[in-house]
Amino acid sequence: MDYQFLKVEHCGDGTTVLKISAPKSLNALNSTILKELDACIGQELEGTRVLIITGDGEKSFVAGADISEMAHLDEPQGFEFGRLGAQVFRRIETLPIPVIAAVNGFALGGGCELAMACDIRIASSKAKFGQPEVGLGIIPGFSGTHRLPKLIGQGYAKEMIYTGKVIRADEALRIGLVNAVYEPEELMDKAMEMARMMLKNAPVAIKLAKQSINEGYDLDADGAIALENKLFGKCFATRDQKEGMDAFLGKRKAEFKGE
């Protein structure tokens, strides 16, 4: 499928790289980009086992939502724009495969929210993160007030959101917003290296582990443990489990089929 603002590369090993490409606006998210992301997720990921999301160019991952579009919205339109972004990001969050955000530059507002919808965030040393919406008279609208406190705690999240301050990659690493920071020229290589480590493992097990983490997060301890027990049991109905354990006992490399 042809996109106006996305570049999609299927790497042939089960990894897909999705680049948001709107250089004139530093990859800011407008309605068209959000709809293209939604379509891409629905149509482009067959056979994909790891998805890497990044921004096109050296300056920006996603600089935010498109202010030129938002400036003229009324309340119902603002609600619909926020709901569109939230729904697309929720689809990314609940994909049954690992999603890595390779944050190569500005990740502000909607860009920070997109990164947070991914499973893992790695950043260029030149990356900058922030939720500066209050300076525009709005609040984070693509689930930022939900995800940011979960990732870094309420205190840091409230500070970032109330002040609108922008933080550098090293600070994002310190507070747990990103997993690792690399030099710009290393970022995509490191993302691919992480993807390759994931590709060595059983796809069904990764899918069920992600489900257990995501769905168990908001449960109490008993509920989360019960969910894990259920999904742990499901692993033993898969061919991958048989292959993995047979390979281990036979001292050979496992060949997982995702079944």
Predicted confidence (pLDDT) per residue in 145-159, tens digit? 999 999 999 999 999
Please report which confidence band the pLDDT of residue 109 belongs to, taking 50, 70 and 90 as the band edges.
very high
Q: What backbone torsions phi and psi does residue 54 show, to the nearest 5 degrees?
A: -145, 175
Q: Chain-centre distance of CA 160, in angstroms?
A: 20
Q: Tokens 């067959």 belong to which residue?
A: 46
Predicted confidence (pLDDT) per residue in 176-212, tens digit? 999 999 999 999 999 999 999 999 999 999 999 999 9
Residue 56 and residue 28 share a domain: yes
Residue 228 and residue 119 share a domain: no
Residue 112 and residue 82 share a domain: yes
Residues whose CB is less than 8 angstroms from the CB of residue 49 and which lie 6 or more positions away in sequence, other chains included = 14, 15, 97, 98, 198, 199, 203, 258
Residue 40 and residue 125 share a domain: yes
- Domain for residue 143, yes or no? yes
- Domain for residue 217, yes or no? yes
Q: What CATH number has the domain bearing residue 24?
A: 3.90.226.10
171 belongs to the catalytic site:
no
> Which position among 133, 159, 185, 243 bears the catalytic label?
133
Q: Which two tokens stand for residue 141?
A: 């609208």
- Domain for residue 258, yes or no? no
Residue 152 and residue 65 share a domain: yes
Distance from C-alpha of 176 to C-alpha of 179, rounded to nearest angstrom? 7
Distance from C-alpha of 108 to C-alpha of 79, rounded to nearest angstrom? 20
Number of domains forming the structure of the chain: 2
Residue 194 and residue 69 share a domain: yes
Q: Write 137-140 long-range contacts (CB < 8 A, 24+).
A: 138/70, 138/78, 140/109, 140/113
Predicted confidence (pLDDT) per residue in 202-234, tens digit? 999 999 999 999 999 999 999 999 999 999 999
Q: What CATH number has the domain bearing residue 215?
A: 1.10.12.10
Domain range enclosing 220: 203-249
113 belongs to the catalytic site:
yes
Distance from C-alpha of 126 to C-alpha of 184, rounded to nearest angstrom? 7
Distance from C-alpha of 174 to C-alpha of 171, rounded to nearest angstrom? 5
Predicted confidence (pLDDT) per residue in 63-97, tens digit? 999 999 999 999 999 999 999 999 999 999 999 99
Helix 221-235 vs helix 203-216: crossing angle, to nearest 10 = 170
> Which position among 58, 69, 113, 255 bears the catalytic label?
113
Residue 207 and residue 192 share a domain: no
- Domain for residue 257, yes or no? no
Q: pTM for this one? A: 0.96
Residue 179 and residue 110 share a domain: yes
Please report which confidence band the pLDDT of residue 58 belongs to, taking 50, 70 and 90 as the band edges.
confident
Exposure on the CB side of residue 255, measured as CA atoms within 13 A: 1
